[in-house]
Structure 1
Amino acid sequence: MNPSASGWINKFGHLVDKETRIFSDFESLYQELKRNGFVYGVHLDIPSFIEVEHTLSEDEIAKINLLTALYFTFQFEQENPNFTHFVDTVFEYYQSLEVGRISFISKILSGSKTESQLEKLIDSRIYLGGNAFNRAFGNSLTNSLLYVDILIFRIYLQGKIPMMEHAQLLEYVTINIAYHALNAKETNEKDAKLIQLLASSLTYVNLDDAKFDGTYLDLLSQKFSKIEKDYFMDMACLTIWEDKSLDYTESDYIFGLGKDLGKTENEVQSELNFVKKFFENNKEKIAYLNDKNLAVQFYEGMSKNVSKLILRNSKRLKKELMESRELLALLSKSTVKDLSAEEKKKVQNQLLDIFKSIPSLAIFMLPGGAVLLPIFIKLIPKLLPSAFDDNRVEED
């Protein structure tokens, strides 16, 4: 399955239809989403029943986990769930929230099929702004409060309380808890980055209008579900995880919050241990924890995205390269020794001609796109056969 190509939602439906009930209840789904990083706003892994051919990028992992969470939430709340009904329901849900807007041109390109339009809509929920150029080079941030979408979707399916009002309430309490947890500790640059990510992900609450005066604690007496309280607790633990040992003020805050949420001290300590272990094991993979300078981050983001494009077009590239014997010989030579200036110019011109025939590699045609050619040459030995359409569903 390829979440960056059209048809991936249909492919997801085909895969999930083969499975028996993967999660026994909403709690087991929540724990899986925590292990994958989705609850914490970082996107590291996907459920094992999803088959992928290539290494997934952060935004692709986020898309798969968002759809997985929505699907199983729907399954828990509906009798005899049908995938077509699920797609229609999720599309209507996002439209009713007025947060997943599809541009006019996207509607034209995606056609009238609900699945195709939902793909565009989910894409709009994953990214925090950023134009197409920034996305192509891996410079857009992913929404770090995506799990709130799942909590609101449950409310939507149950239809018991006003959905938009509860959405605002969830975000308001979440950002307040993160803010006060941050103020309970000695902050550093990484903490500041985390709170900025959370603030930039707000959808239903205007940060300028939010009050950080402690009055949010009065709201905890309202009827939040257990899973919502678990989420609040995890967001507080996320904010103070880095210390590894709690000082007096942090301990007062986190265990006091746990008491307000109806948690025992053992339950709070268990959540702290989980989040500490998670981030200690994955700190190298989490973007906002990296201290790399902007140039290094840009190059790495660029390399990852170029690698993804090349590997996913490997079949067509191999065909084009095989038809250009001189180019193939020069590329092979470049892997073992430096090319002359004339040879490099030949390689550049012939590669650009090939990229013209493969639309998804259009970034090489942009001004300055030639600087990406060394990355391409480096990846030539790694080209592997792949299916033309990653999302094709074989008919029985």
Structure 2
Amino acid sequence: MYFGPKFELMNPSGPGWINKFGEVVRNKSGMYPDFSTLYANLKEYGFVYGMNVEIPAFITIEHPPSEDERAKINLLVALYFTFSIERREGDFEEFLETIFAFYRALNIGRSSFLNKLLTGKKTSDKLETLIDSRVYLDDNVITRTFTSVITNSLLFIDVLTFRYYLRGEKDLVAQAQKLEYLTINITYHALNAKEKNKSDEKLSQLFAASLTFIDAEEQKFDGSYRQILMENCSPWENQYFLDVASLTVWEDYSLDYKESQYIYGIGKDMGFEEKQIASSLEEITIFFKKNIDKITFLKDTNLAVQFYDSMARVVNKLILRNSKRLQKELAESKELVFLISKGTVKELSASEKKKVQDQLMDIFKSVPSLAIFMLPGGAVLLPIFIKLIPTLLPSSFDENRVVKKEENPQNKDYKKNL
């Protein structure tokens, strides 16, 4: 689908990115004539499957987007165009107020920590913080990242619940709980319909770690979900369940008889014809063939290594995107620079380590995009930050750094970035 010329660059990890998004989609509210068209595109991007491999072509970013940035962009695209389709207009300020009210009604962002971050901010800034909390998993970014690898795999449930909210329905939390309950049950029983392998287990962990409204450990997988599924009358919720089931049983571009029997069984429970079920299976096959190298959970990597690499990429991205502000803050923190420099050649004392942590936290408070460091367990990221930080500091800090051939010390831009 062609979306017209590209727009100004957007930085989804910097402050003000939601307002920039508002400029990008100005006069574009009619881009999707119906939810069917939107859903098809979100499936191509991987958002429906919880694997964000692409973003819309009409959004341009200066740097290649990371997995969490793709998730944030696709979530906002999905929410905004769902709003414009349901309300038949695309006033962006009204959208901001509506989506913020929606998340508050869902009790997202009401933790004491997030409340502190939200105090005194305008709506777009608050929404940036809330979306970060959804993508980075608002419970405990460190422990849950081990299984979810940064992004929330069930973010499309936000979109379905938002659509429900826009239609004036009540009991939002109960609706979100029902959607999560059905999704996790479908995943569980679809996996039981096949011989499990390591990828299956990681997929199961990925979905379980992404739950927001229910506790997977307290769920009973006794098959009673099938009755709820049969009584569910929302066609797009059912389409999502069918696609999740197809995603779960996919393996080596083929399905054995037992797996297809399960898919066709729940598909018929939800009122789908055989050709619609076959289409869902074909679409997931095409998606994997096209994007298999981009899908993290399929890579057979030690989870601890995967965690470290993932978080290193996140911290590296945050340093890159906020380099100017960090340079300024570090320049004003001579004691911190001295202690970090000292720590490269000898062990710091407990009190010195505490000073480093406290001063870094003060810096993170001044740069909104670095709020991830202040989440519960965020201090675990500090060693990664300190390891990557020398490129921001004066060359005298890191005398042994080898200048790459493409770096020209005489170049003004190079000097400025040191």
Q: TM-score range by the shorter chain?
A: 0.7 to 0.9
1:110-137, Cα deviation, whole Å (9 max, x unpaired): 6331111111111111123576778999
Correspondence for 1:392: none
* Residue 266 of structure 2 corresponds to residue 250 of structure 1: no
What is the alpha-carbon distance in structure 1 between the residues aligned to residue 141 and residue 186 of structure 2?
A: 33
Q: More displaced, 212-221 or 106-115?
A: 106-115
What is the alpha-carbon distance in structure 1 between the residues aligned to residue 403 and residue 233 of structure 2?
A: 51
Correspondence for 1:180: 189
Q: More displaced, 3-12 or 227-236?
A: 3-12
Q: Secondary structure in 2 aligned to 1:81?
A: coil
* Residue 173 of structure 2 corresponds to residue 164 of structure 1: yes
Correspondence for 1:119: 128
Counterpart selection for 1:259 from 260, 263, 268: 268
Q: Secondary structure in 1 aligned to 2:231?
A: coil
Amino acid at match of 1:17: R
Counterpart selection for 1:28 from 37, 54, 57: 37
- State the shift of 1:150 in Å: 0.5
Give the alignment of 1:154-303 within 5 angstroms: 154-160=163-169, 162-294=171-303, 296-298=305-307, 300-301=309-310
Correspondence for 1:51: 60
Q: 2:44, 2:287 within 8 Å by CA — same for their partners in 1?
A: yes
Q: More displaced, 307-316 or 149-158?
A: 307-316
1:116-170, Cα deviation, whole Å (9 max, x unpaired): 1111111111123576778999995321110001101111110145332222221
Q: 1:129, 1:140 within 8 Å by CA — same for their partners in 2?
A: no
- State the shift of 1:24 in Å: 1.5
Correspondence for 1:142: 151
What is the alpha-carbon distance in structure 2 between the residues aligned to residue 114 and residue 217 of structure 1?
A: 40
Q: Which runs of 5+ in 2 are unaligned?
A: 1-9, 329-343, 346-355, 374-378, 393-400, 414-418
Q: 2:153, 2:210 within 8 Å by CA — same for their partners in 1?
A: yes
Q: TM-score, normalised by structure 2?
A: 0.73
| Aligned residues with identical type, % of pairs | 51
- Number of aligned residue pairs: 355
Q: Which runs of 5+ in 1 are unaligned?
A: 320-343, 346-351, 386-396
Amino acid at match of 2:206: L
Correspondence for 1:71: 80
Q: Secondary structure in 1 aligned to 2:280?
A: helix
* Residue 381 of structure 2 corresponds to residue 372 of structure 1: no
What is the alpha-carbon distance in structure 1 between the residues aligned to residue 66 and residue 262 of structure 2?
A: 36
- State the shift of 1:199 in Å: 1.3
Q: Secondary structure in 2 aligned to 1:17?
A: coil
Going from structure 1 to structure 2, the CA distance change for 1:375 and 1:214 (only over 3 Å counts) comes to farther
Correspondence for 1:304: 313
Amino acid at match of 2:280: E
Going from structure 1 to structure 2, the CA distance change for 1:379 and 1:182 (only over 3 Å counts) comes to farther
Amino acid at match of 2:91: N
Give the alignment of 1:342-361 within 5 angstroms: none
Q: TM-score, normalised by structure 1?
A: 0.77
Q: Secondary structure in 1 aligned to 2:271?
A: coil
1:281-340, Cα deviation, whole Å (9 max, x unpaired): 222211111112356535643553354245435678999xxxxxxxxxxxxxxxxxxxxx
Q: 2:316, 2:388 within 8 Å by CA — same for their partners in 1?
A: no
Q: 2:144, 2:209 within 8 Å by CA — same for their partners in 1?
A: no
Going from structure 1 to structure 2, the CA distance change for 1:133 and 1:119 (only over 3 Å counts) comes to same
Going from structure 1 to structure 2, the CA distance change for 1:104 and 1:169 (only over 3 Å counts) comes to closer
What is the alpha-carbon distance in structure 2 between the residues aligned to residue 103 and residue 191 of structure 1?
A: 36
Q: 1:137, 1:301 within 8 Å by CA — same for their partners in 2?
A: no
Give the alignment of 1:103-114 within 5 angstroms: 103-104=112-113, 107=116, 111-114=120-123
Q: Secondary structure in 2 aligned to 1:141?
A: coil
Q: More displaced, 65-74 or 371-380?
A: 371-380
Q: 1:99, 1:203 within 8 Å by CA — same for their partners in 2?
A: no
Q: Secondary structure in 2 aligned to 1:198?
A: helix
Aligned-residue Cα RMSD (Å) equals 3.8
What is the alpha-carbon distance in structure 1 between the residues aligned to residue 231 and residue 204 of structure 2?
A: 25
- State the shift of 1:86 in Å: 0.7
What is the alpha-carbon distance in structure 1 between the residues aligned to residue 111 and residue 69 of structure 2?
A: 19
What is the alpha-carbon distance in structure 2 between the residues aligned to residue 67 and residue 303 of structure 1?
A: 25
What is the alpha-carbon distance in structure 2 between the residues aligned to residue 114 and residue 163 of structure 1?
A: 21
- State the shift of 1:100 in Å: 2.7
What is the alpha-carbon distance in structure 2 between the residues aligned to residue 158 and residue 165 of structure 1?
A: 16
Correspondence for 2:95: 86
